[in-house]
């Protein structure tokens, strides 16, 4: 057997050669703490097999918290600066890791972390994950699992672990929620109620395209071609710890060209004239940000403020107060009910695949499918029942 076993005091150590992840070169490694020679022999066999299989990870005394703080979280910051990771995604990982992972399993040795430990964590969070001992939602717990999986995947890539044990864990599946949507009638009522609103064009655009909040807040006049009745989504104005950042779209499919209807084009032209009037009124105090939707002084709108203004407007219209993202769901639902194909709707929404659209709006798709079945049968059989 390659390697050797050395008696040291009352116990045994194993000595073997393995690749150093920092250099890739073979290096001698000592590992002790075995009470019997048999335990040492078993450990040495496992190490040699892992080296041969290319799954070897060098022993470390890092705890989960130490790994997260010393290695993983700083790597997220570096990825954001390098442009390979979005700041919103990094903040998502950071918040979940510091709120739920480190406080509960942070003291576990990284190399001792296993699927049962993760399953227990998820179970505990289901019971008393929130402050005050209240249950944490399955959606948040799923986010915790995604965070752990990403962290351990990087640990494997860096040679700290031989495998990602999160792949063997059993996190609870996030519960599917009934989406907050308005009917077509409610959308029309809202449009009528905000017709004289300073940001009427913003609400019309949200209702007629399903654009995300950050995409609406980050839209610039250079992105609009009103003569051709279209706009291009190039960026998003997002929030990270309440600070506003400009990011590229969520995914490649999110960077898209969207056709505009005549009513929306008219609303945007009216908004453009209004903004020019505000610019003249503010004179030198007006700031040219190039943004379509701004404060009266030209500065950009904080996305959180856009949400608050929308919900206040919904309340004034005496409509159910839904999240601003609910307009996106309402647009998609109305479009599918109107007969727009799933593929076209997926492209307009900027989903990365048609499967996402189909899963999100399966209830609508089933309804439309049933209507299609009835209409086609009536056409074929002449309406006889």
| pLDDT tens-place string over residues 34-89 | 889 998 898 888 888 878 877 777 767 899 999 999 999 999 999 999 989 999 99
Per-residue model confidence (pLDDT) at position 160: 86
- The pLDDT assigned to 382 comes to 73
CB 217 within 8 A of CB 303: yes
| pLDDT above 60: residue 385 | no
Predicted local confidence at residue 171, as pLDDT: 95
Predicted pLDDT at 241:
83
Q: Which CATH number fits domain 64-168: 1.10.150.130, 3.40.50.300, 2.40.30.10, 2.60.40.1930?
A: 1.10.150.130
Distances (CA, A) of 68 to 63, 94, 108, 110: 9, 9, 12, 10
From CA 219, how far away is CA 224, in angstroms rounded? 8
Q: What's this model's pTM, rounded to 2 decimal places? A: 0.75
- Of the chain, the end-to-end C-alpha distance in Å amounts to 80
Q: For residue 33, give both structure tokens.
A: 């703490």
Mean per-residue pLDDT of the chain: 90
Question: What span, in angstroms and rounded, lies between the C-alpha atoms of 196 and 317?
Answer: 13
**What percent of the chain has pLDDT above 90?**
66
User: Around Cβ 308, how many Cβ atoms within 10 Å?
Assistant: 12
Q: Which two tokens stand for residue 50?
A: 């892992």
Q: Residue 370: what pLDDT?
A: 74
> How far, in Å, CA of 261 to CA of 332, rounded?
15
Q: Do domains 64-168 and 184-320 have the same CATH topology?
A: no
What is the rounded average pLDDT of the residues 187-215?
A: 96
CATH architecture of 184-320: Orthogonal Bundle (1.10)
Cα angle: 352, vertex 156, 25; to 5 degrees:
130
Residue 47 CA from chain centroid, whole number: 38
Residue 31 has pLDDT above 60, yes or no: yes
Element of type H or E holding 247: strand 243-247
For residues 70 and 73, what is the distance between their CA atoms, to the nearest angstrom?
7
Longest Cα–Cα distance of the chain, Å, equals: 93
**Binning pLDDT at 50, 70 and 90, where does residue 30 land?**
confident
Domain ranges of the chain: 4-53, 64-168, 184-320
Confidence of residue 377 (pLDDT cuts 50, 70, 90): low
Smallest CA-to-CA distance from 329 within 227, 150, 176 is with 176
| Nearest to 96, CA basis, from 68, 115, 58 | 68
| Confidence grade of residue 270 (pLDDT, cut at 50, 70, 90) | very high
Find the range with the poorest average confidence among 128-137, 185-194, 221-230: 128-137
**Which residues sit opposite 258 in a β-bridge?**
231
Reported as a single tens digit per residue, the pLDDT across 228-261 is 999 999 999 999 888 999 988 767 778 899 999 9
At residue 379, the pLDDT reads 65
Beta strand ranges found along 131-252 (DSSP E): 224-225, 230-232, 236-240, 243-247
Report, as an integer, the average pLDDT of 139-145.
96
Average pLDDT rounded to a whole number, residues 122-126:
96
């Amino acid at each position: 057997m390659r390697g050797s076993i050395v008696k040291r005091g009352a116990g045994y150590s194993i000595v073997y050669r393995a690749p150093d992840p920092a250099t890739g070169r073979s290096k001698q490694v000592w590992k002790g703490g075995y009470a019997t020679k048999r335990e040492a022999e078993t450990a040495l066999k496992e190490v040699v097999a892992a080296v041969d299989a290319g799954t070897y990870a060098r022993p470390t005394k890092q705890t989960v918290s130490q790994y997260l703080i010393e290695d993983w979280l700083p790597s997220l910051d570096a990825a954001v600066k390098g442009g390979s990771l979005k700041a919103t995604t990094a903040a998502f990982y950071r918040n979940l890791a510091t709120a739920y992972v480190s406080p509960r399993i942070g003291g576990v040795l990284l190399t001792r972390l296993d699927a049962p430990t993760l399953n227990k964590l998820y179970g505990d969070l289901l019971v008393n994950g929130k402050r005050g001992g209240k249950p944490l939602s399955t959606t948040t717990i799923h986010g915790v699992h995604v965070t752990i999986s990403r962290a351990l995947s990087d640990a494997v890539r860096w040679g700290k672990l031989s495998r990602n044990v999160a792949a063997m864990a059993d996190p609870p599946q996030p519960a599917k929620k009934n989406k907050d949507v308005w009917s077509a009638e409610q959308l029309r009522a809202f449009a009528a109620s905000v017709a004289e609103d300073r940001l009427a064009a913003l609400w019309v655009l949200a209702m007629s395209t399903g654009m995300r909040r950050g995409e609406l807040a980050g839209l610039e006049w250079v992105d609009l071609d009103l003569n051709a009745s279209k706009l291009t989504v190039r960026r998003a104005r997002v929030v990270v710890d309440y600070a506003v950042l400009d990011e590229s779209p969520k995914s490649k499919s999110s960077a898209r060209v969207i056709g505009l209807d005549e009513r929306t084009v008219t609303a945007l032209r009216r908004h453009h004239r209004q903004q020019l009037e505000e610019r003249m009124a503010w004179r030198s105090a007006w700031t040219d940000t190039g943004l379509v939707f701004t404060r009266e002084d030209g500065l950009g709108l904080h996305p959180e403020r856009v949400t608050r203004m929308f919900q206040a407007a919904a309340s004034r219209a005496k409509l159910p107060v839904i999240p601003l993202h609910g307009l996106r769901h309402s647009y998609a639902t109305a479009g599918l009910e109107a007969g727009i194909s799933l593929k076209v709707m997926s492209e307009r929404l900027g989903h990365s695949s048609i499967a996402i659209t189909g899963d999100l709006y399966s209830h609508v798709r089933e309804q439309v499918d049933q209507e299609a079945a009835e209409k086609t049968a009536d056409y074929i059989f002449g309406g006889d029942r």
